[in-house]
Structure 1
Amino acid sequence: MDRQAPKKLKVSKKWTPSPLTLILLGLIAWLWFRPPADVSEENRPAPPWQVTLPDGRLLTSDSLKGKVVLVNFWATWCPYCRKEKPVIDDFWHDTRDRGFEVVSISIDDSPEKIASWMQDKGYAFMAAPTNASVAAAFGNVTSVPTSFIVDVEGRIRHKIAGQVHYPRLEKLVAPLLAEAKQP
């Protein structure tokens, strides 16, 4: 029996993770739940685009001029999209009175599914399905979430390939809102 006791000790030591293993597991978990996003400076004009909102209203890029707009590409099945929506909603509520707007473009859902999902989650910002004019303006976005920040003149200023976070939105949008208020 004395010989079995050391074997148990060896087995338990064998399964005890090293500090390096714990750090790597923590890093993997952090990346899994908060993946990095690639933010690029675009500063290019966007061709005119339009979407039909689920309630049948037509929304055009011209009607958004004078506002800073987050055009967010997403899908209802995307876990990172689901995770960023409350952040987008909070930021929109905090800044919409200063000229910020959100247009959430679903890459593959029907207008009915979009309306139902938005209503179920309690989001009031605009959402619509993609179309050819959106693809022409922003490119054929197939990786979600992907977002574009459009300035008051209709220029695409930033592209965010990945999940948005409140501090990131603040960093990218606040200067554009400040520019818009200057004469």
Structure 2
Amino acid sequence: MHRLALSRRQLLQAGAAASVLTAPWAAAQKAGATPLPAVGAPYPLAAVPLLGGGRFVPAQAEGRVLVLYWWASWCPFCAQQSPEMQKLWAAQQDRGLRMLALSIDKKPEDAANYLRQKGYTFPVVWTSPEVARAYPKPEGLPVTVVRGKDGRVVQAEKGQLFAEDVAELTRWV
């Protein structure tokens, strides 16, 4: 069987060509993009309605580590990271970890159906315009921000976190 083999050089050239083609679009997207919050910066919280009922209120995270996780049901990288986030939630919530996953799906039903299909139980809010004002999504997807016990950002990542990266978030709990 004959396999197509690309050299590292060919891959880099293809990536460079793709970046030239997408540069105008990317620049337009970045113009209004929210940057990742800086490590050490205070991260204020707001009360928001949870999918499936109930509310997240800031007092729930007071003096506790809070993981904020922006995701979408259609995002292939989120599909890889979300099972790890569920494992983190299941293993660490009794130790005080709090989580607020923010779905950027177009409709709340899409997010709710996806969560039900996958059996995810971490707290999720659908990012309505009101929620987006309270919790502006930083550039990228997925995005993970860890708010420390003191209310300040201790870690902020854009892009997929792998299993070992998510497991390492326990160091903040």
Q: Same fold per TM (> 0.5)? A: yes
CA shift, 1:136, in A, is 4.8
Partner residue, 2:68:
71
State yes or no: 1:127 paired with 2:127: no
CA distance in 1, matches of 2:126, 2:139: 13
Partner residue, 1:97:
94
Residues 92-119 of structure 1: per-residue CA shift (max 9 Å, x gap): 2222221112211012343322222111
Partner residue, 1:47:
44
Partner residue, 1:173:
170
In the TM superposition, structure 1's runs of 4+ consecutive aligned residues that sit over 6 Å from their partners are 15-18, 23-27
Say which of 154, 159, 164 aligns to 1:157.
Answer: 154
Amino acid of the structure 2 residue aligned with 1:103: L
Partner residue, 1:36:
none
Please show how residues 11-22 of structure 1 align to structure 2 within 5 Å.
21=6
Amino acid of the structure 1 residue aligned with 2:143: T
CA shift, 1:157, in A, is 1.6
CA shift, 1:161, in A, is 0.5
CA distance in 1, matches of 2:137, 2:86: 25
Kept after mapping to 2: 8 A contact 1:81/1:145: yes
CA distance in 2, matches of 1:132, 1:115: 18
Kept after mapping to 1: 8 A contact 2:146/2:156: yes
Kept after mapping to 2: 8 A contact 1:46/1:137: no
- Structure 1 gaps of 5+ residues are 1-14, 28-38, 178-183
CA shift, 1:156, in A, is 1.9
Partner residue, 2:108:
111
Say which of 126, 135, 140 aligns to 1:143.
Answer: 140
Q: Which has the higher strand share?
A: 1
Aligned-residue sequence identity (percent) comes to 26
CA distance in 2, matches of 1:45, 1:90: 27
CA distance in 1, matches of 2:52, 2:142: 24
Say which of 29, 53, 61 aligns to 1:56.
Answer: 53
SS at match of 1:43: coil
CA distance in 1, matches of 2:94, 2:71: 24
Kept after mapping to 2: 8 A contact 1:81/1:163: yes
CA shift, 1:23, in A, is 6.3
Kept after mapping to 1: 8 A contact 2:37/2:153: no
Partner residue, 1:81:
78
CA distance in 2, matches of 1:168, 1:148: 13
CA distance in 2, matches of 1:71, 1:110: 20
**TM-score, normalised relative to structure 1:** 0.67
Mark the structure with the bigger radius of gyration. 1
